[in-house]
Amino acid sequence: MKTNLTVNGQQVQIDVEPRVTLLDALRDELGLKGTHAGCEHGVCGACTVEIDGEAVRSCLILGVQCDGTEVTTIEGVAPAPGEMDIIQDSFCATHGLQCGYCTPGMILAAKTLLAKNRDPSDEEIREAISGNICRCTGYGQIVEAVRLAARRLRESNAAAVEAGQ
Amino acid sequence: MNEHAKPFSGRYVSSDRRVREDTRFVAGAGHFVQDIERPGMLHVALVASQHPAATIEDIDASEALAMEGVVAVVDGNELSNAVNPLMNGLDTPEVRRFPLAVGQNRYAGEWVAAVVATSRALAEDAAEKVKVKGEKLGYVMDPEKAMEADSTPVHPSHGSNVLLDRTFDWGPVEDDFARSDETLKLRVTWGRNSTVPIETFGVICEWNAWENVLEVWASIQMPKYADQIARALGLRGNDVRVYYDVDVGGSYGVKRGIKHTVLAAYLARKLGRPVRLIEDRLENMRSGDAHGPERIFDIGVAFDRDGTINAMKMRALDNAGAYAGRAPFQLGKPIGAIVGPYRINSVQYRAQSVTTNKAVQEAVRGFGQSPTNYALETMMDRVAEHLGMDRIALRRKNFIRSDEFPWEIPSGSKYDSGDYHAVVDKVLAQSGYEDIVAERDRLRADGLCAGIGIAACLEPSGGNSSFEPLLNPKNRTSTWMEGSRVNVDALGDVTVTIHTTSSGQGHETLAATVVGEVLEIDPDRIRVVRPDSLGSLPGNSPVGSRMAIMLGGAAANAARDIKRQISAIAAHSMGVAPDAVTYAEGVVRGPDGRTVEWSEVVDIAHRRFHDLPEGTNPGLTASFIQQVPTGVALPKDGKAQMYPCYSFEFHVVLMAFDPVLAKPEIRRYIIGHDCGTVINPHIVKGMTLGGIAHGIGAALLEEFSYDAEGHLMTQSFLDYLMPSSNEVPEVEIVHHCTPSPFTEFGQKGSGESGYLGAPAAISGAIHDALRPWNIHLNKLPIRMSAISDAIASAKENT
C-alpha cells in the first residue's frame, strides 16, 4: 500500500503491507535505524517517535495509518551531522544514558515535553518519560538531562528575544 | 604494599569528563546488531514447545515449507547430529544442551524447531504451521520437590535433578555455635527475575566458504564467545570472526546467546547465506535462557548477647531450570564474599543446584551475590530484632575495621581495603539520619506504615573465575586476563584497542582516560577501536565488575610501555642513559635541560631505524595482557582467593505506604559508595543509580512466575513489571574513597553497585514499617498485595 508522509522534513512515499508497523517501515523501508524495537507491544517506549508534535510508540501504529502525517525520528533531531541539539547535548553533559538503546525514544519524549512545557518540574519530567523504560540509568541522570535542557532552552530563547530575533 | 594509602589524584582520572560513547547514541547512530544488513540475509523464527516436558515424536513441516519465502525448517535431531553440545562448566556429561530440544523438551517455550525464511514476518507465519507430535511427560517446577528421590528427573540419563550439592566448612563452625550465647534460624527466598535489557538478544552469522571463516555480529556480553562457537561447531578457533564493534543494547550479564549463535551459525553454513536471529520479546522472556537465580536460603546464625556474630550456616538451594547454564556457578561467586563486610569467624555453606522444568538461567548482574547479600542482611536485621539492638549498631559492631585489611575471610579470600565505619558515619551525617528517623515517626503518627531499611554489602570485583575450579576440579582456570594495545602512529596520534563488545559500561572512555593519564595527553585526542576477535588480544569480556581493574590495568600498562620506549629513544638521541631523562606531557627532558619533543621521537621510531637504540623495534606500539591481581593459584582445600578488590556500599531507605493499599513508596534513598578511585564519575554514578533501579525491581516488582501447569505467566512487559521513572526515586549518593592497593590507580569495580544492596535495604524498610504487626515477608519480590494481605490477616488475628 502506498503511503505518503513527511519524515524529518522530507516528503516520502512508502509502499508497505498493511500489517507493517511504522517502526518497521522507518527501519526497513527508509533505513532510519535510530528508532529501536524494544517490546513491540507498546510498553517500553524504545520506539518512540514524534508524530504531529506528539510522542507516539511507532510499534503501535501501522505505517499505512501515517498517511499525511509529519514524523520526526532521532535522525531528524540533530541540526547537522556531528552537531547536537540542546537536548542531545544535555544528555551527554549529564550522561543520561549508558547502552544508548532507549535513548532515541527518551530524547523524543523529552523533546515533545519541552515543546509544550518550557519549565517542567521534576515530577512533570518523570511523568513525561514514565512510558520509556531504561534499564541502565535508574533515570536519575535522564531527569538531570531534561532539567538541564529545559534551562538551556529557556536561556537560549531569552537570549534570542533579547537580540531581537 | 599500600602505595595508594591516599586517593589517587590525576589529571583525567576522576575528573568530570564526558563519556565519549554518548555522542553516537544520542544521535541514534549506535551500531546495534538489528541495524546491520547483509546481502541475501535470511531470518529465523522459532517453534516453541507447548508443554513443560513432552517427547518429540514427529515434526511435520510440510505446510510451512510450502509457504512463500520459506527456505528451511531444522529440528533438534538434525542440529544435534551436526554440532557439539553447548559448554557446561560442571562435570555433568549427561546434562546435554543443544540450541533446539532433542528427543524431548524440558520447559514450556523451549525451541523445538527453527524456521528460516526471507523475512522474519514470513518465518513467523510459517512457524505457526509446523506441527509437533509427542507425548506429555512428568515435570517438576519446585526445587525442593526436584530434590526428592522419587522426583521426575529433567534429564533421565543424569539420574537425578541434582547438578551440584557441595558443603564447605570453613573454620570451627560447630564449636562456634556451641560457644555462642544465642542462635537463630531463618528462611528467605529470592524470586526468579532478570535484568531484561530493552534490546533483546540478536545475532547474525555468515559463512564465508572462500575464506573458511564464520562471521558473527551479535548483541553479546560473554567470555570466550568465539571459542565456544568454534567448539560447538567443530571449527578451528581461527575460523570464527566475532565483530566486537557491535553496540549492545543493555546486558547486565545476560546477553550470552550461545544457543542462538550456534543455531544461526549452523543455518548459515547449511544454507550458504547470512542468517539473522533476533529474539522477539516473547522469545526473550520465555526461552531466551536469560533468567536469573531463584534461590531458597536456610540460615542458622550463632551470636553473643552483645551482638557479636560468631558463625553462620547457610544452605542455598538454587533452581537452575532445565539445563545447567551458568546457574551452579552463580552459587560460587558469593563464596568470595560469604561473610559480607563482617568479621564472622566460621561458616558452613551448602550450595545446591537442581534442574526443574523452567527456563535456563544465565549470568545476572552480581552473579548470585545480590541474592546472597539479601539473605545476609536479612539475617543481620533478624539478629538485631532478636536482641533488641539497633540495626546500624549491630552492623558497626561486626564490621571489619579499616586497620585490619587485608582481611582474610573464612572461605579464603582476602579483602583488599575498606573503611566501612567511615562510610556509615558519612552517610548518617550527610543524610541527616536523625531527621529520617523523625520523618518516619511523623509518617507513622499520620497513620501510614513507615520504615527505614539498612543494608551494608560488598561488591567483589575483577576476579579470575575461581568459582569454576572450586566447584569443578576438572576445571583448571587460574587466569581471567584482559589485553589492550596502544599504538602511536606516524603522525604521532594515539590509538588504543579494546577486545570485547560493550553494553553501556563506557569502556572507550575508560581506556582513553587511563592512557591519557599515563601519557599525560588529552584523552579526547586518543582514538579507541575494537578489532574483531581474530585481530584481538586475549580477553574475557566485561563480567564481574572487572573492566576498570582489568582493561584499565591493561591499557595503563601498555601506555607505560609506550612511555618507557619514548623515554629510551629520546635518551639515546641525547646520548644519555634512559634513567637519566624525565617524561612530562609527551616531552622528554635530559639531565642538562635539553628536551626531545614527541614528534621527534615519533619520527625516529617510524622512519629512522639508524637513530634507534640498539635492540629497539621500529614503530611505537605496546601490548599488555593484564593478569588478575592476587589471582595466582588454584583453589586449595575448598578455599579460594576469588577477587582482588572489594567495593563497599551502605544503603539507607525510608519507605511509606498506606496500610490498606500497601503501595510501597520510597521517600528517601541514600547510598554510601566506596569503589576506590573513580575513573569517570559520571559512569560510576550511572552504574550505581541503575543498579538501585534493578534492585527496586527485584525487591518489589519483577518475577518470572510459572503456573502449576508449568507455563510462564509473566512473559510480556505488561505482566513482568519493571520500575519506571515513577517508581525509582531520586537517589542521594555519598562518596568515599578507599583505594585498592592492588590496582593501577586504586580503582575497584562498580558495575554491579546498587543492585547488590538495594533489595535487602528495601525488604528491611518494609519490615521496619510492618513492625507493629511483627510480620515477616520472606520472599522477594514483595508485592503490594502480599503486604496488604499480611496486614489484613494480622489485623484479623489481633
Q: What are B598-610's pLDDT values in tens digits?
A: 999 999 999 999 9
Check pLDDT > 90 for residue B730.
yes
Contact A139 B728 (CB under 8 A): yes
- Check if the beta carbon of residue B112 is closer than 8 Å to that of residue B105: yes
B295 DSSP β-pair partners: B190, B318
How many Å apart are CA B662 and CA B491, to the nearest integer?
A: 65
Nearest to B193 by CA among B258, B111, B285: B285
In a shared domain, residues A59 and A95: no
For position B271, what pLDDT does the model report?
Answer: 98
Rounded Cα distance, B596 and B567, in Å: 9
pLDDT, one tens digit per residue, over B58-105 is 999 999 999 999 999 999 999 999 999 998 889 999 999 999 999 999
Query: Residue B479 pLDDT > 90, yes or no?
Result: yes
Higher pLDDT, A157 or B469: B469
Whole domain around residue A49: which residue ranges?
2-76
Distance from CA of B543 to the nearest CA of A (A): 15
Query: What is B34-138+198-250+256-287's CATH superfamily?
Result: Aldehyde oxidase/xanthine dehydrogenase, a/b hammerhead (3.90.1170.50)
Please give the grid coordinates belonging to residue B155.
Answer: 534429564
Side-chain-side CA neighbours of residue B482 (13 Å): 31
Note the pLDDT of residue A165.
Answer: 61
The angle at the Cα of B121, spanning B115 to B123, to the nearest 5 degrees, equals 10
H or E element, residue B312: strand B309-321
Q: Do A92 and A150 lie in a common domain?
A: yes
CATH code for the structural domain at B295-466+633-796? 3.30.365.10
On the question of pLDDT at A164 being above 80, the answer is no
Going along B409-489, which residue ranges are E strands?
A: 414-415, 449-461, 482-488
Q: Is B316 on the interface with A (CB under 8 A)?
A: no
Band of pLDDT at residue A157, cut at 50, 70 and 90: confident
Beta strands in B422-477 (DSSP E): 449-461
Q: State the best of B198, B248, B251 to mutate against chain A, taking most chain A CBs within 10 Å.
A: B198
Q: Which helix (H) or strand (E) holds B387?
A: helix B369-387
Closest C-alpha to B133, from B61, B78, B74: B61
- Which residue on chain A is closest to B505 by alpha carbon? A98
Is B529 exposed, middle or buried, given 0-12, 13-18 or 19+ CB atoms closer than 10 A?
middle
What are the cell numbers at B295? 534461590
Question: What would the mean pLDDT of B297-318 be, rounded to a whole number?
Answer: 98
Q: d(Cα B51, Cα B136) in Å, to the nearest integer?
A: 7
Instruction: Name which of B508, B339, B519 is nearest B414 in CA terms.
Output: B339
Which residues make Cβ contacts (< 8 Å) with residue B6, sequence separation at least 6?
Answer: B739
* DSSP H helical ranges for B58-172: 62-65, 76-82, 120-127, 143-147
A127 domain residue, yes or no: yes
Read off the pLDDT of each residue in B296-317 and give the average, rounded to a whole number: 98
> Mean pLDDT score of chain A, rounded to an integer?
96
Alpha helical stretches, state H, B66-136: 76-82, 120-127
Cα(B354)–Cα(B483) distance, rounded to whole angstroms?
36
Nearest-Cα residue of chain B relative to residue A47: B198
Beta strand B213-218 with B240-243: parallel, antiparallel or unpaired?
parallel
- Predicted confidence at residue A25, as pLDDT, reads 98
Q: Among the three residues A31, A52, A76, which one is the final residue of a domain in this structure?
A: A76
Residues A100 and A152 in one domain: yes
pLDDT of residue B426 exceeding 60: yes
Q: Reduced to 3 states, what is the DSSP secondary structure of residue A50?
A: strand
Choose from B221, B286, B725, B755 for mutation: most chain A CBs within 10 A: B725
Helix, strand or coil for residue B506?
Answer: coil
The answer, yes or no, to whether residue B734 has pLDDT greater than 50, is: yes
**A127 lies within 8 A of chain B by CB:** yes
Cβ-nearest to B725 among A73, A78, A129? A129
- Phi, psi angles (nearest 5°) of residue B573: -70, -25
Rg (CA), chain B: 27
Average pLDDT, chain B: 97
Same domain, A9 and A61: yes
Neighbouring residues of B434: CB distance < 8 A, sequence distance ≥ 6:
none
- Contacting residues for B288 by C-beta, under 8 A, at least 6 apart: B200, B201, B254, B257, B260, B279, B359
Q: Do B34 and A142 touch (CB under 8 A)?
A: no
Residues A60 and A90 placed together within one structural domain of the fold: no
CA B58 to chain centre: 39
Q: Does B673 touch chain A (CB under 8 A)?
A: no
- In terms of DSSP bridges, do strands A48-51 and A54-57 run parallel, antiparallel, or are they unpaired? antiparallel
Q: Can you tell me whether residue A19 is helix, strand or coil?
A: coil
Q: Where are the alpha helices (H) located in B474-546, listed in sequence order?
A: 507-519
Task: Could you please state the CATH topology (level 3) that the domain comprising B481-626 is classified under.
Answer: Aldehyde Oxidoreductase; domain 4 (3.30.365)
Place of cell 509457504: B67
B189 phi, psi to nearest 5 deg? -130, 130
Residue that finishes a domain, picked among A76, A94, A120: A76
Q: How does pLDDT run across B483-534, given as a tens digit for each residue? A: 999 999 999 999 999 999 999 999 999 999 999 999 999 999 999 999 999 9
A142 & A110 share domain: yes
Q: Are residues A72 and A90 in the same domain?
A: no
Distance from CA of B577 to the nearest CA of A (A): 46
* Unique residue bearing C-alpha cell 581495603: B417
pLDDT-based confidence at residue B3 (cuts at 50, 70, 90): very low
The residues in A 53-112 lying below 8 A from B, measured between CB atoms, are 73-75, 77-78, 84, 88-89, 91-95, 97-104, 107
Region B276-289: what's the mean pLDDT? 97
From the list B355, B418, B323, the residue with the least C-alpha distance to B646 is B418
Instruction: Say if the ipTM goes beyond 0.95.
Output: yes
Q: Is residue A132 part of a domain?
A: yes
DSSP-H helix ranges across chain A: 22-24, 86-94, 103-116, 122-128, 140-162
C-alpha cell at B564: 618507557
Euclidean distance between CA atoms B125 and B115, whole angstroms? 10
Q: What is the CATH number of the domain that holds A67?
A: 3.10.20.30
From A76, A106, A135, the end of a domain falls on A76
Give the DSSP H/E element, type plus range, for residue B380.
helix B369-387
Is the per-residue pLDDT at B590 higher than 60? yes
* Residue ranges, CATH 3.30.365.10, chain B: 295-466+633-796, 481-626
Residue B4 — very low, low, confident or very high, per pLDDT cuts 50/70/90? very low
Q: Please, are residues B256 and B220 in contact by the beta-carbon 8 Å criterion?
A: yes
Same domain, A115 and A151: yes
Calculate the CA dihedral of residues B52, B58, B64, B65 and round it to 10 degrees: 140
Q: Angle B433-445/B420-431 helices, nearest 10 degrees?
A: 50
Rounded distance, CA A66 to CA A1, Å? 12
Binning pLDDT at 50, 70 and 90, where does residue B211 land? very high
Q: Which pLDDT does position B5 carry in this prediction?
A: 57
Q: Which residues contact B544 (CB under 8 A, 6 or more apart)?
A: B333, B367, B460, B461, B462, B463, B465, B480, B643, B749
Is B27 within 8 Å of A84 when comparing Cβ atoms?
yes
pLDDT tens digits for range B571-586: 999 999 999 999 999 9
Same-domain status, A71 and A100: no
pLDDT surpasses 90 at A159: no
Contacts of A136 in chain B (CB under 8 A): 250, 504, 686, 690
> Does A81 reside within a domain?
no
Query: Which ranges in chain B are annotated with CATH 3.90.1170.50?
Result: 34-138+198-250+256-287
Average pLDDT over every residue of B755-759: 98
Residue B692 with chain A: CB contacts under 8 Å = 138
Q: How far apart are CA B413 and CA B684, in angstroms?
A: 25
The CA distance from B244 to B218, in Å, is: 8
Give the distance from residue A162's alpha carbon to the nearest chain B alpha carbon, in angstroms: 30
What pLDDT was estimated at residue B1? 39
Same domain, A70 and A101: no
**Span A78-97, average pLDDT:** 97
Nearest CA in chain B to A88: B26
- The CATH number for A126's domain is 1.10.150.120
Q: Do residues A72 and A108 share a domain?
A: no
pLDDT at A163: 80
Do residues A52 and A71 share a domain? yes
Alpha-carbon B595 to chain mean position? 48
